[in-house]
Structures are given as C-alpha cells and as structure tokens.
Amino acid sequence: MEAVYIGLGSNLADPVQQLDAALKALAQLPKTRLVATSAYYSSAPLGPSDQPRYTNAAAYLETDLAPHFLLDQLQAIELNQGRQRKAERWGPRTLDLDILLFGQHILDDERLCVPHYHMHARPFVLLPLAELCPADFQLADGRLLADLLKHCPVDPTLQRLHTPAFCTI
C-alpha cells in the first residue's frame, strides 16, 4: 500500500461539515484506509479576497489505488459535495481535495502533479501536513518537509481550529 497525503479545503456551505463529510468519504474509498487526519485550520483565501475564509486540513491514507484512479475518486467526492468546476482559479468552493504526496511517486501530467506543485508556498497545506509526518520526512523529489516549512511564507491569518472527532493519531 502507498502512503498518500491529501489536502482538504472548503469555504462554502459550512466548511467544517464539508471537511467532516469528506473525511468520512475518504474512509469509504475502496482499497484505501484513512490512517490519520490533521487539525482543521482557518486561512484567508488565495486569489479574490471577496470570499469567505477557508477551512483546511490534511489526511493520511494508505491505498492500493493507482494515482489517477484515486484522483477520479477524489473528484467524485468533490462533485457529490456540490463542487462546481469553473474557469475561475482560486474561487470559492464547497470542497477541494488535492493529492499532495503519493508514496515516492513523482508525476507531472495534464491532470496530476505530485508532489503538489505549489504546496511549498502554502502554510495552510504545510502545517496540517507536518502534523501527520515525522520531523525528518522527505518528499519523493528529495526536499525535506522541515526545509519547506522553514522557507514557507508566514501567514499571520492562519489559525488552528480543532481536531476532527475521528482523528486517528
């Protein structure tokens, strides 16, 4: 089974409830086990500032699914929870599920970029991820998570909210 890390985000339709429902859906994926979840964080939106704050988290899965099949499953969860894909990037959404890391795979095609292409600059991704990984965690591309955290821009608006009820760590 591959170790996979998923980034979760929502800023519409009760974001905490959206993340709770998404974690339950992740736990139901075939050939997959939800191992642990991070705390929830609140952050200012990227892009247009005239939208609600985001609630973000990370999840650690173990899966036998192929990367693109897992992506299909994640997009189905997003759609099931009311996600509408629009041309507008960084707009408001009910749910966003991103594959951050997929074992030691490095992928870069029209559908999937792993490690996630911009995670190094997003404290709302790195801080939840760091809760799930050991201090010396190394990404498939050789970067250390500790180094990414050290060089990540500081976000003074980022707030740790709470740990979800079904956190397994």
Which of 33, 89, 98, 155 is an active site residue? 98
To the query of whether residue 93 is one of the catalytic residues in this protein, the response is yes
Which of 14, 72, 96, 160 is an active site residue? 96
What CA–CA distances, in Å, run from 48 to 52, 58, 94, 156? 10, 23, 16, 18
Two structure tokens written together for 141: 């591309």
Which of 50, 64, 85, 93 is an active site residue? 93
To the query of whether residue 50 is one of the catalytic residues in this protein, the response is no
To the query of whether residue 83 is one of the catalytic residues in this protein, the response is yes
Which of 20, 33, 72, 83 is an active site residue? 83
CB 42 within 8 A of CB 54: yes
Residues serving a catalytic function are 83, 93, 96, 98
